[in-house]
Structure 1
């Protein structure tokens, strides 16, 4: 067997494979012998069909299959051993091959080659890096949330903003009387704090238990179908028929009393002995928020590195016709219009992919199983942190991480995240960072365009 690669230009080549009978004969004969053991033909016992008949009926198809397998194996081996920087897959030319009459075969493939370019980063390159400020309000909000988790609920006699009301809700007619056949909800629960209309909300100010008041739910909740359907216990389509006034007999008023910021709370949130005062507790809460923000800052940094390096490298040369054929091959069901519409965008993504590959190689970034495991834990830890859970037991982290690692798509995502995290860390040390402090709101606006 002979395989050769001939460059057409800088970004395309033709790969030629010459296969002789000696290359495949043994494999074909072995395959035919195996087939003979299984084939059924009238007049012959299984496994006793003459080889001449097996070859006559199946010889050509077995030859095609074995030659194709051999060719794919050797082509992949050639590309790997010769480090051919190929894009996509080899595209077969129109090869005039007659398997029924010929013994030696020649196949040719069009190959799209990756463009040659250099990419380097040094202290002479300046890239923005956004440090997200952890505002005092964020810390306060987080601390309040922790306190609410340890809250207790007291029954009180007089309503204050934020209290929860429970009572009998009854629909009224145009004369203000209980409507015959109207909606009645026993044990209806409301929090006037979340009403959209201030006038309706004011009706509840200072109300006491066993008081009966009149309000309009539709006005109070700004005709929100979902909220009204939930309150009135009717279908969304039926809300339109209940836009009038309702009476509400207050039977119970419940007030949430936030938990104390004490050692028990500190230990439950952070772990035993991690903080011994409110000041230490707030400092660690702030640190936890800052750590979450750091990952966001690194993500934005890589986006800016991408833009910076794409501009620095400039427009790369690609074998456009070949690349479009490859794209069409991968998107047969979407057709040529899809390729024409998305081709330029695909080149942008490919350009960054090639740049990133060079950066990963230059920085000798490798991903071990331990890295993937740790990233799975980190991803799990971040998910819990979104719900205010900082002190997650290692056993729980391990269990969630193991479940994540059972899914192939999750593992692929974790590998990419690990590479990007390591790459961001490496590049931050190489370039000059133009650090800018921004608020969380300012940072989030950067992604809204």
Structure 2
């Protein structure tokens, strides 16, 4: 067997494998004899058919299987021994596949395209600057959250006259046209200039307005029509009031506290506000941690020279997902994939250089955290903890072991990021909720 590497560029190459008869024939003969011992061929007792007949019947398929097995093992072993890091999977060059004569040919030549990176140098020191963000809650955000909770647990009423914040149920009809529909209009979505038309209305009152101008948010969603019908909602319309719905805010009392957080979890308005603050702060800071970590990754990617084999990777992505994606979709999504791949290379390199490993205990603990988050609002509490080991085992064993590998990768990435934060020049910045939202939008 001969294996040669032909580098076309700094990140793409061809691997050529030449097989002669001595490489595969002993294995083929052994497999044919094994078939002969088990074969059940008409006219012969089981296992008594001549080897020559078995070879005639099954020899070609055995030859193909054994050569494919030899190729797979030899190629993998060869690539593992190289100093560069293989990306994707080797792509067989199949232009001459139809020319192979499996019945008479003794020597076989195969070729594979590969993509790789090498000499990746990563600097994790004080010369690398990044920012870690956290969020500080403000009274306005907390008050809005409390108002939403009071509204969510409030009582629905039907007042005689409308006011801001009400829902007006009625019939909308085009003055010039045949469009008409019954729906509930939330006054919170009506533009300020048009809102006064809808204040002080009673059952049976009629309002004339232009929905395309009066409704300030998603028009199709608000009226309850398909996007294709939105163009019909421009011009003069009448709205006939059938009913007025209003939510009376729940009182800040023990009954309300128990409904929100469970019996006797908080017992005063002050404790309730502290609990809301704590939960919202935790949720926002989880979200901003993800943002901070992504920015740190981007910094490392920008500071690390990684020459990805773009044309090879696009070809591999297309063939690996053949039938599921178009080449246009691969080209469109490639920048996202390239960013993820670059981080994977960097993370693995840092982990290897600094002996950072995801231990089994870490994987189990992270899975427990995930399960707790998924069941956080279920109120199962103690029952969940009693069955936690079962939940964790079922999840980690699922998806043919892929869940375990994904969780292990996640744990390693977290450890790598912790190591990075400890060793670079990291600036801590506290943001208001408003500033954080601006960051996400940009």
Query: Normalised by the size of structure 1, how large is the TM-score?
Result: 0.70
> Relative to structure 1, is the Cα distance of residues 119 and 203 closer, same or farther in structure 2, using a 3 angstrom cutoff?
closer
Instruction: Measure, in 2, the Cα distance between the counterparts of 1:12 and 1:413.
Output: 28
Which digits, 9 at most, give the CA deviation of each residue in 1:3-62, with x for residues without a partner?
767696976777675756565445423543565556867x77887654323323542342
Gaps of 5+ in 2: none
Equivalence for 1:28: 28
1:424 and 2:417 correspond: yes
1:328 and 2:288 correspond: no
> Relative to structure 1, is the Cα distance of residues 267 and 91 closer, same or farther in structure 2, using a 3 angstrom cutoff?
same
Equivalence for 2:351: 360
Q: Which deviates the most, 235-244 or 419-428?
A: 235-244
1:51 and 2:45 correspond: no
Query: Normalised by the size of structure 2, how large is the TM-score?
Result: 0.71
Q: CA deviation at 1:366?
A: 0.9
Q: Larger radius of gyration, structure 1 or 2?
A: 1
1:195 and 2:182 correspond: no
Contact map agreement 2:206 2:241 (CA 8 A) in 1: yes
Gaps of 5+ in 1: 175-180
Structure 1 counterpart of 2:270, from 272, 279, 286: 279
CA RMSD, Structure 1 to Structure 2 (Å) = 5.0
> Relative to structure 1, is the Cα distance of residues 59 and 154 closer, same or farther in structure 2, using a 3 angstrom cutoff?
closer
Per the alignment, in what secondary structure is the counterpart of residue 446 of structure 1? helix
Give the aligned length: 419
> Relative to structure 1, is the Cα distance of residues 407 and 277 closer, same or farther in structure 2, using a 3 angstrom cutoff?
farther
Map 1:213-224 onto structure 2 (within 5 A). Answer: 213-216=205-208, 218-219=210-211, 222=214, 224=219
Instruction: Measure, in 1, the Cα distance between the counterparts of 2:79 and 2:434.
Output: 50
Equivalence for 1:136: 139
Map 1:359-438 onto structure 2 (within 5 A). Answer: 359-361=350-352, 362=354, 364-366=356-358, 368=360, 369-377=363-371, 380=374, 393=381, 417-438=410-431
Instruction: Measure, in 2, the Cα distance between the counterparts of 1:110 and 1:245.
Output: 68
Which digits, 9 at most, give the CA deviation of each residue in 1:370-405, with x for residues without a partner?
145235326526xx7xxxx59674657979989987
Map 1:279-318 onto structure 2 (within 5 A). Answer: 279-313=270-304, 315-317=305-307
Structure 1 counterpart of 2:117, from 114, 129, 150: 114
Instruction: Measure, in 2, the Cα distance between the counterparts of 1:426 and 1:272.
Output: 42
Which digits, 9 at most, give the CA deviation of each residue in 1:168-199, with x for residues without a partner?
x597999xxxxxx99797xx755545434745
Structure 2 counterpart of 1:256, from 247, 252, 273: 247
Contact map agreement 1:153 1:254 (CA 8 A) in 2: yes
Contact map agreement 1:267 1:275 (CA 8 A) in 2: yes
Contact map agreement 1:262 1:278 (CA 8 A) in 2: yes
Per the alignment, in what secondary structure is the counterpart of residue 153 of structure 1? strand
Which digits, 9 at most, give the CA deviation of each residue in 1:295-350, with x for residues without a partner?
3332233333233323433x3456x5xx6345424425689999999888866554
Equivalence for 1:125: 128
Instruction: Measure, in 2, the Cα distance between the counterparts of 1:355 and 1:78.
Output: 24
Which digits, 9 at most, give the CA deviation of each residue in 1:269-309, with x for residues without a partner?
34555433222222222222222222333223333323332
> Relative to structure 1, is the Cα distance of residues 259 and 101 closer, same or farther in structure 2, using a 3 angstrom cutoff?
same
Instruction: Measure, in 1, the Cα distance between the counterparts of 2:222 and 2:193.
Output: 17
> Relative to structure 1, is the Cα distance of residues 57 and 146 closer, same or farther in structure 2, using a 3 angstrom cutoff?
same
Which digits, 9 at most, give the CA deviation of each residue in 1:120-145, with x for residues without a partner?
42345331112223222221122222
Equivalence for 1:178: none
Instruction: Measure, in 1, the Cα distance between the counterparts of 2:326 and 2:168.
Output: 60
Instruction: Measure, in 1, the Cα distance between the counterparts of 2:238 and 2:130.
Output: 61
Q: CA deviation at 1:77?
A: 4.1
> Relative to structure 1, is the Cα distance of residues 27 and 129 closer, same or farther in structure 2, using a 3 angstrom cutoff?
same
